[in-house]
């Protein structure tokens, strides 16, 4: 038995792009978009809408910017079943540059925000909503949020924002199932008119399991990526999520085909997924940046000294 309210969002290209400055080839972006459409994903997220006055086009791929001119070549000619999503970071997007929905191929915009920036997030999301888009607020690094401040932020979103969906984002891959259940219930209780989403990271091999735990606790918007590609330890693997969900509209085949055709090679070029340094930052509830830095050094396999360094820093 399945829950028809469940929506799957493929963010392979968006979150995977964090590992290569969004330099995927247009051919690959189109293949992922097509496969996600055919697999029955409800949304496909291709990148960020970053301000061109802040970021240099010579240093990033087109999916860092996601203007209409960037997006149309990625999707045209492909039968559209999934809605198209882009992410916006507070302070890195120019709201004036966002066209009205009627002039855009984009259906949904997701605002990434820390708890401390929730006023800015609500302001931005309300502007985007007024232009006609579906919207989400993705509250990042929720494992570091103080409980009382998080509660206040959620109540404020419920009261002041027009947002459709609020995401629980375990940016550090630090949360265990009991904490996911607790937070899912809190989100639902404090925001009864909003849908809730989950975006999990895989530092402790819990991204898929925590997504299931969130589903059990009435979270309906589920992020996943092919082979779990994403920053550092990556995300919930789409192939596992579609294998679990019983909704007959989902089809694992287009995902498996693309994994075999392209992602075996991509894995040789880009390093993501479970490794001991990311497991350590997850266990310690820390940003993965220390692990990402370690993996670029000759000392990359010295796990014990890495662990002791992080423990000592935390104890200062």
- Does position 251 interact with its own copies (CB under 8 A)? The reply is no
Q: How far is the CB of 65 from its own copies (least distance, A)?
A: 32
String of contacts with its own copies for each residue 161-190, x by CB under 8 A: ---------------xxx------------
The C-alpha atoms of residue 201 and residue 142 are separated, in whole angstroms, by 12
Cα(263)–Cα(283) distance, integer angstroms: 28
Which of 94, 271, 308, 313 touches its own copies by CB under 8 A? Answer: 308
Give me the least distance between CB of 75 and its own copies, in Å please: 23
Question: Binding pattern to its own copies, positions 114-153, x when CB under 8 A?
Answer: ----------------------------------------
Distance from C-alpha of 98 to C-alpha of 153, rounded to nearest angstrom:
25
Q: Say how far apart CA 281 and CA 232 lie, in whole Å.
A: 10
Query: Among residues 257, 287, 295, 309, which is the contact residue for its own copies, using CB under 8 A?
Result: 257
Question: Under the criterion CB under 8 A, does residue 281 sit at the interface with its own copies?
Answer: no
**Nearest CB to its own copies, comparing residues 125 and 183:** 183
Q: How far is CA 17 from each of CA 24, 142, 150, 251, 266, rounded to the nearest angstrom?
A: 7, 22, 29, 24, 12
> Roughly what angle, to the nearest 10 degrees, separates helices 177-190 and 147-160?
40
Q: Which H or E element spans position 271?
A: none
Distance between CA atoms of 274 and 271, rounded to whole angstroms?
A: 10
What three-state secondary structure class fits 70?
helix
Interface with its own copies (CB under 8 A) = 176-178, 202, 204-210, 212-213, 216, 227, 237, 239-240, 243-244, 252-253, 256-257, 259-260, 264, 274, 276, 279-280, 283, 301-304, 307-308
């Amino acid at each position: 038995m399945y829950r028809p309210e469940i929506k799957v969002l493929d963010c392979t290209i968006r979150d995977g792009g964090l590992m290569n400055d969004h330099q995927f080839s247009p051919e690959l972006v189109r293949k992922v978009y097509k496969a996600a459409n055919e697999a029955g994903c409800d949304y496909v997220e291709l990148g960020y809408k970053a301000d061109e006055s802040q970021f240099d086009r010579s240093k990033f791929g087109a999916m860092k910017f996601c203007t209409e001119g960037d997006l149309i070549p990625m999707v045209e000619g492909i039968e559209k079943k999934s809605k198209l999503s882009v992410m916006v970071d507070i302070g890195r997007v120019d709201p004036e540059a966002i066209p009205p929905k009627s002039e855009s191929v984009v259906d949904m915009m997701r605002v990434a925000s820390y708890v401390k920036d929730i006023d800015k997030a609500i302001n931005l999301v309300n502007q985007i909503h007024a232009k006609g888009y579906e919207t989400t607020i993705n509250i990042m690094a929720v494992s570091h949020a103080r409980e009382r401040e998080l509660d206040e932020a959620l109540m404020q979103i419920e009261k002041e924002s027009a947002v459709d969906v609020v995401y629980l984002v375990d940016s550090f891959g630090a949360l265990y199932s009991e904490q996911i259940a607790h937070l899912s219930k809190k989100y639902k209780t404090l925001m009864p008119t909003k849908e809730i989403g989950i975006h999990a990271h895989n530092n402790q091999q819990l991204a898929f399991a925590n997504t299931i735990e969130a589903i059990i606790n009435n979270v309906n918007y589920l992020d996943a990526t092919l082979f779990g590609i994403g920053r550092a330890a990556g995300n919930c693997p789409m192939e596992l999520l579609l294998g679990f969900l019983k909704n007959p509209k989902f089809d694992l085949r287009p995902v498996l085909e693309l994994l075999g055709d392209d992602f075996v090679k991509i894995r040789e070029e880009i390093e993501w997924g479970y490794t001991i340094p990311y497991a350590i930052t997850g266990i310690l509830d820390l940003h993965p940046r220390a692990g990402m830095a370690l993996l670029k050094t000759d000392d990359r396999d010295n796990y014990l000294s890495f662990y002791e360094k992080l423990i000592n820093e935390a104890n200062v």
